[in-house]
Structure 1
Amino acid sequence: MKLKFLLRAALVALLALSVAACGNAGGGEQGGGGGGEGDGPSITVGSKNFTEQFVLGELYAQALEARGFTVERQLNLGSEQIADRALQDGQIDFYPEYTGTALVALLDYSEQQLDGLDTPEATYEEARRLYSERDPANTMLTPADFNNNYGIFVRRDVAEEQGIETLEDLAEASGELRFATYSEFQDRSDGYKNMQENYPGLDFGEIITANDLGLRYQGVTDDRADVGVGFLTDGQLTSDDLVVLEDTKGIWPFYYPAPVVRSDVLEQNPEMEEILNSVSATLNVDVMRDLNGRVDLQQEEPADVAQEHLEAEGLLEQQ
């Protein structure tokens, strides 16, 4: 089921981008097709290319459909740079982005500036301000109440044998360990470089690049790697075979997810703000880890997982 979904999502994304190249696929009354049919405006929702983004995209899309919108999905677009470009070019009307990621990867915020943002609220307000100053302007809505920060994890037998509980411990033992990572984490200023700068001595004996999140976890549990990088809301982190290491220095910004909407679309459809915020209000770290785990571990479809959550929260009732 999961492979079938990923292949279909990739095909949909490629087709959607091809169509968008011929004209403006987003915005207000424009767009349409490829989604739920309502009698309200047509909205195009995008997402990045990992499980949590698929789930978030479906949650927001289905909530809008329940309120009469026609929603086209362009999920699995790729990295934040690709999703952001689609937003700026009008190929999509909104997608979920993380506050810290927006500042680090999209809005040209320096590390020195980030040092002054010591609360989730301050991080969000700065991201919201910078989005609003763009041309065309974007609006970052209210974030969900969870921090999808990086999670550095170690196989439990390795952690116990070498006494690894924190990133400081990891730096001391890293020379003998294999690290399962992905290319974006290695390249981003808040990723591997950030770890090395703040935890001196961190230098793994072997670095294995696996851009698929599931392969990184599987590589560690199957003893092809010892350490991996994921996210704190990954369902795999419920496993007793893994230990999530403590970041004692707090080296990462806050990564709270929120819909980033084209401001002109929001002005035309102001009811979107209440609908999307109502979805975000139902989410926390435990809920999101459960939803992600149902997709990654139980092989459920993101659309089905999203539907069940929204039904339980009463957000699919027609209004």
Structure 2
Amino acid sequence: MTRRRPRRQVVALAAVVVSSLLATGCGLKSAEQFTPAAEPGSIKPVPELEGVRIVVGSKDFTEQLILGKMAVILLRVAGADAVDQTGIAGSVATRQALLNGEIDATWDYTGTAWISYLGQTKPVPGRMAQWRAVRRADARNGVEWYPPAPLNNTYAFAVRAQTARRLGISELSDLAGVPREELTFCVDSEFASRDDGFEPMLDTYGVPLDDVVPRRNVRIMDAGVIYDATARGRCTFGEVFTTDGRIKALNLVVLEDDKGFFPNYNVAFNIRSDVARRYPQIRKVIEPVSAELTTEVMQDLNARVDVDGEDPGLVARDWLRSKGFVR
């Protein structure tokens, strides 16, 4: 099952709507996409890529737009004719566009691929082990997975910083020591019913629903409002995605999943296997950047769009410049 993404703020949504793609019977419609220009930095022009047409897609939420713009900028700096098809509506449409050859490359998540695309029910523990399993299985579908970034956009629970200090908690195992009346949770309806969701998580950490956590302590609400509800104290613990920019903006603290309950959702560059074989140089363009993409970095970049209202393309280019990849 594909994880539902939180609703974005109006500013970010407006930018997405302007540049969104429409799926038609003839494939994806081209759209006027803004991707800022850049000059070579540590990423240099690659003669073998000069003029090569590579269509880059992405899903239509903030993080994916930023990552997609990065790939377009990098490939253009390397000399390729990179076509910007970022902003495809949803995981299924983006995946299908890759499999159908409507796009050549995109960024995706190991957990999404393993569970949603490949139909597996049990995540593989460990970042690299999960990636290897996905890479091996997806090769049969003609998709090559470059090595995963440290960035892990998975489920987590967050708490107000002052509450974390008061309760002396930093990891989910600490829930067992929290007074019953303070074991209050905000979760969305999908997460509340998933096999890798709320109730199994409580069981894993020794605070099962009903036995320890009263059902009246659980608020079901839209994923997009959980962050603000947690920051306002409507519940002690709120379900979040680990790279969401609102975590820092609202002074929330993510509790460590110290027993490794949640699946790994590390992002990795996906490219059609035939394109990867024909142009192996693409890997040397993408890999150095992917290695620098951490969860904390992505939180900051997402916040610049979702909280500060900046353009995803400019955010992508500014970060690439700050790391010296481009000028």
What is the aligned partner in structure 2 of residue 304 from structure 1? 314
Q: Which residue of 1 aligns with 2:290?
A: 280
- Relative to the length of structure 2, the TM-score reads 0.76
Matched residue, 1:28: none
Q: Percent identity?
A: 34
Report the equivalent of 1:3: 10
1:139 — aligned with what?
144
The CA RMSD measured in Å over matched residues stands at: 3.3
Q: Give the distance between the partners of 1:270 and 1:33, measured in 2 at CA.
A: 29
Matched, 1:13 2:20: yes
Residues 24 and 219 (structure 1), Cα distance of their counterparts in 2 relative to 1, 3 Å cut: closer
Counterparts of 1:234-245 in structure 2 under 5 Å? 234-238=244-248, 241-245=251-255
Contact 1:47–1:76 under 8 Å retained in 2: yes
Q: Given the alignment, which residue of 113, 120, 133 partners 2:127?
A: 120
> What do the CA deviations read for 1:16-58 (whole angstroms, capped 9, x no partner)?
x23xx31477xxxxx8974669962332322234322222111
Mean CA deviation greater in 150-159 or 248-257: 150-159
Paired position in structure 2 for 1:73: 84
* Residue number among 199, 203, 206 corresponding to 2:218 in the alignment: 206
Contact 1:33 1:72 in 2 (8 A): no
Q: 1:138 to 1:187 in 2, by over 3 A?
A: farther
State the partner residue of 2:26: 22
Distance of 2:291 and 2:138 partners within structure 1:
21
Aligned to 1:101: 112
**Which blocks of at least 5 consecutive residues in structure 1 are unaligned?**
26-30
One-letter amino acid of the structure 2 residue matched with residue 301 of structure 1:
D
1:250-274 deviation digits (Å, cap 9, x = unpaired): 2123322111112123234332222
Distance 1:186 1:90, change over 3 A: farther
2:136 aligns to what? Answer: 129
User: 1:170-319, aligned counterparts within 5 Å?
Assistant: 170=175, 179-186=185-192, 188-199=194-205, 200-202=207-209, 204=215, 205-212=217-224, 215-238=225-248, 241-316=251-326
Structure 1 counterpart of 2:46:
none
User: What is the identity, as a one-letter code, of the residue corresponding to 1:22?
Assistant: C
Matched-pair contact (CA < 8 Å) for 1:32–1:72 = no
**One-letter amino acid of the structure 1 residue matched with residue 26 of structure 2:** C
Normalised by the length of structure 1, the TM-score is 0.78
Letter of the aligned partner of 1:235 in structure 2? G
